[in-house]
Structure 1
Amino acid sequence: MMLDAAETPVINGRRDLITELFGVWLVLAVFLDGWAHLNLPSLETFFTPWHAALYSGMVATGLWTASVIWRNRKPGQPLSQALPPGYRGTVVGLVLFAVAGGLDLLWHELLGIEVTLDALVSPTHLLLGFSLFLILGTAVRSARTGRRARDFEWTPAALFAVVLMTGLGAFFLIYCSAFVRPGPTALFIPMPVGTPGRLQAEMPVVIGLTSYLLTTALILAPFLFTLSAARRPARGIVTMLVAAAAWLPVAMVGFRPVAAAGAAGATAAAILADVLLARLPQDWLDRRLPAVAAGIAALVWTGQLAAFAVADGIRWPVSLWLGAVVLSAAVAAGLALLSSWGANAGTRYAGALG
């Protein structure tokens, strides 16, 4: 049953914001540990300063969560009933992280330490990542609990949570990030079918194009999620999402100059996108959201490519780099259409499709 406005739980914005600040600790520790796996191939033990940063952050988060539950408890009330809105998933995440941490220790003792790409797809690391998503999503669950869609307003903590989850997603997808793979700056000479070495020459381009599509989804999916329960985009949301998806991975691989230039260009374009969104008529958001999403994607990647051109030069043929922008815009438009699909979708987006 949907709760009436008077019955809606009171959202403690300060409490949730503190919880998400602990999330910053966790996300930064994850990227620090990732940096160690990428740059220290001689790493041969589970007990490292980077793991200490991560697990101490989890202990601190657990203690804070316990204090939140205890303060929320009424006299005589079981602890299981004292969980504030949104914090049940947090507790599940903490327990799951402890289990995954033990399994990760056992994994390393039996099979050794992962070096680079295998560290990102290790089952125990993926389980740790899932538990972190549950913890980082606390403020989103808290803000949405018991609220009608038309009454919902994004709290600063909830928006911060979405940005942190985007950053964590960027960590696990760093091997196919368009921000750490500046593909358009690499020379590519098209070869006819059947030419020896053609597949090997095309593989970096295939990976580069795929990276653009996946990174577009990483940025636009949370943007559309925040818009699904609000009439207007949150101020600065595109810039925050692009910054999380770009700068954290770029820092993890060591601030390579060309990659950093591309991240700066994309961030500048994202700022422009936010300025334009603030001036956009509501009718465009209501009826032409796919076009808006496509425009955001096109603007962000055009900014990145412009920065590449200045910092190092673009060596892909125009058909490739322009095609990457167009394909990314198409992915963004498709996500926007799917995110708003419903009983009235055919009517609502008739203009966008026509």
Structure 2
Amino acid sequence: MADSGEPRRWVSLRTDLITALLGVWFGIGLMIDAWAHTNQSELETFFTPWHAAFYSGFAAVSGWIIFQVWRNVRTGRQGLAAVPSGYLAGLIAVPAFAAFGLVDMIWHTVLGIETSIDILFSPSHLGLIVTMLLIITTPLRSAWNAPDVGARPSLGRLFPALAGLAFAATLVSLFLSYGDAMQYGAQRVVDAFSLQNEGPGADRLATAMVISNVVLLAPVLLLARRWRLPFGAVTVMYAIMILMPGAQTAFGNLSILLTFVVAGLASDLLILWLRPSGARRGAYWAFAGLSAFVTWSLYMGVASATGGGLPTVPELWTGAPIVAGLVGLALGVLFLPNAVDVERA
């Protein structure tokens, strides 16, 4: 079909909000499925209630995206002109996801159901996760250059983008579960940094903290480079990001998970104080380093308070938050090597 040539339209906030909420359904369906794979070792078939929750979410959000294109086609638009701004990648990902879903069904039928770390390396699952990322981040791409967003959007206006990006981060954390510090319980943290022989070692926890630090902070820095984030933005994102590790651990480490919500609030306060943006490179770098340092200081503090006391190796529990802060600073430098005009970021 030839392109009719009209400029592509922006959708309304209401449309983006519905896209985001349907993406939440999609994401929660995956969390339920992840919980089942982790806790239901007797799974032997592709056709489960968990997959039904997951794929029904896909049907809902993909149907909504296609409907937006169809509405424009009805007005006479054709080709790319019928696709709302920010929705093209999500639209392309819809049939790709369906194809990987078919491959996944065949894979499970022939080779069985994965119930351990192999689930994170299945080619069909990797295809599903990449296409899912493109679908659920549609509200972010829609808002990125939307004329009504501006450089200092309200929390309500930015919420669809925040939700989409935060759920995308949960997908990344799921497929990096072998290095997810958010899945640790308080006692495991204390034991690991006390160099106890049982359970995961200090090296594994330290690595997991670095990985989780990047997964948490990178989406925030991406948004802070583009907009002056409203108060509450990081809290909302971190509250969403704890859902996947929570589902995988059946929320058995609730004190650790809630620590990240508090860390999100602390990061929001840092934003109020420092006012980081693409145009304020020094403040942006300071926020990146301090946000990471505060987050992982809280992590060690809560783990110690609820896990039986401070770890017995002081170099580990004092140095780990500093390493996190330095990694955060490095991320800040990578995301914003030079100041940019926020209006054009």
Q: TM-score scaled by structure 2? A: 0.86
Whole-Å Cα distance in 2 between the matches of residues 211 and 337 of structure 1? 22
User: What does residue 3 of structure 2 align with?
Assistant: none
Q: Which residue of the partner structure matches residue 137 of structure 1?
A: 137
Q: Could you tell me how far apart the structure 2 residues matched to 1:174 and 1:244 are?
A: 16
| Larger mean Cα displacement after TM superposition, 267-276 or 52-61 | 267-276
Does the Cα contact within 8 Å between 1:69 and 1:79 map onto a contact in 2? no
1:245 to 221, 241, 245: 241
Q: Distance in 2 between matches of 1:215 and 1:282?
A: 22
1:173 match? 176
Aligned counterpart in structure 2 of residue 289 of structure 1, from 280, 284, 287: 284
Aligned positions of 1:20-59 closer than 5 A: 20-59=20-59
Q: Deviations over 1:126-159 (max 9, x none)?
A: 1100011000111111122476998685733222
The corresponding residue for 2:230 is 234
- Partner secondary structure for residue 242 of structure 2: helix
Measured in 2, the distance between the counterparts of 1:58 and 1:187 equals 39
Q: Is the 8 A contact 1:226 1:234 kept in 2?
A: no
Larger Rg: 1
How many angstroms apart in 2 are the aligned matches of 1:148 and 1:68? 19
Q: 1:20 to 1:137 in 2, by over 3 A?
A: same
User: What secondary structure does 1:288 align onto?
Assistant: helix
Q: Kindly indicate whether the alpha-carbon contact (under 8 Å) linking 2:270 and 2:291 is maintained by their aligned counterparts in 1.
A: no
Q: Check whether the contact 2:190–2:311 (CA below 8 A) recurs between aligned residues.
A: yes
**Cα distance in 1 for residues equivalent to 2:56 and 2:246:** 25
Change (3 A) 1:242 1:316: farther
In structure 1, stretches of 5+ residues that fail to align are 1-6, 192-199, 346-354
Alpha-carbon separation, structure 2, partners of 1:160 and 1:278: 21
Shift of 1:285: 4.5
Structure 2 counterpart of 1:161, one-letter code: G
Contact in 1 for aligned 2:181/2:205 (Cα 8 Å): yes
SS at match of 1:155: helix
Shift of 1:188: 5.4
Structure 2 vs 1, CA of residues 130 and 52 (structure 1 numbering), >3 Å: closer, same or farther? same
Q: CA offset at residue 108 of structure 1? A: 0.8
Please say which of residues 161-170 and 274-283 is displaced more in the overlay.
Answer: 274-283
TM-score, normalised by the number of residues in structure 1: 0.84
Give the conservation status (yes or no) of the 8 Å contact 1:97–1:131.
Answer: yes
1:317 alignment partner in structure 2? 313
Distance change (3 Å), C-alpha of 1:155 and 1:240: closer
Distance 1:316 1:176, change over 3 A: farther
- Cα distance in 1 for partners of 2:142, 2:52 equals 29
CA distance in 1, matches of 2:38, 2:9: 44
CA distance in 2 between partners of 1:57 and 1:189 (Å) = 43
* 2:16 equivalent in structure 1: 16
Q: Which residue of 1 aligns with 2:127?
A: 127
Q: Is the 8 A contact 1:166 1:241 kept in 2?
A: no
Q: Does residue 1:69 correspond to 2:64, yes or no?
A: no
Once the two structures are superposed, residues 283-310 of structure 1 have per-residue CA deviations (whole angstroms, 9 ceiling, x without a partner) of 9944232222111111111212221122
| Post-superposition CA distance 1:297-328 (Å, at most 9, x none) | 11111212221122112335110122211111
Counterpart in the other structure of 2:4: none
Q: CA 1:149/1:39 → structure 2, altered by over 3 Å: closer, same or farther?
A: closer
Distance 1:186 1:17, change over 3 A: same
Q: CA separation in 2, counterparts of 1:97 and 1:136?
A: 12
Q: Whole-Å Cα distance in 2 between the matches of residues 245 and 316 of structure 1?
A: 30
Amino acid at match of 1:293: A
Change (3 A) 1:77 1:214: same
Partner SS, residue 167 of structure 1: helix
Residue 302, structure 1, aligned to residue 314, structure 2: no
Contact 1:223 1:238 in 2 (8 A): yes
How many residues align? The count is: 327
Establish whether residue 266 from structure 1 lines up as the match of residue 260 from structure 2.
yes
Rounded to whole Å, the distance in 2 between the matches of 1:68 and 1:137 is: 16
Matched, 1:161 2:161: no
Question: Which is further off, 201-210 or 141-150?
Answer: 141-150
In the aligned structure 2, how far is the partner of 1:188 from the partner of 1:76? 64
Question: In the superposition, relative to structure 1, how do residues 150 and 261 fare at CA in structure 2: closer, same or farther (>3 Å)?
Answer: closer
Question: Secondary structure in 2 aligned to 1:22?
Answer: helix
Q: Contact 1:8–1:146 (CA<8 Å) still a contact in 2?
A: no
What is aligned with 1:351?
A: none
Q: CA RMSD in A?
A: 2.7
**What is the aligned partner in structure 1 of residue 207 from structure 2?**
210
Counterpart for residue 92 of structure 1: 92
The 3 A distance-change label for structure 1 pair 306 and 59 is same
**Equivalent-residue separation in structure 1 for 2:170 and 2:266 (angstroms):** 21
- In the TM superposition, residue 201 of structure 1 has moved relative to its aligned partner by 7.6
**Gaps (5+ residues) in structure 2?**
1-6, 341-345
Residue in 2 that maps onto 1:184: 189
Q: Distance in 2 between matches of 1:93 and 1:14?
A: 22
Q: Is the 8 A contact 2:274 2:283 kept in 1?
A: no
Report the CA distance between 1:241 and its aligned residue.
2.8
Q: 1:130 to 1:282 in 2, by over 3 A?
A: closer
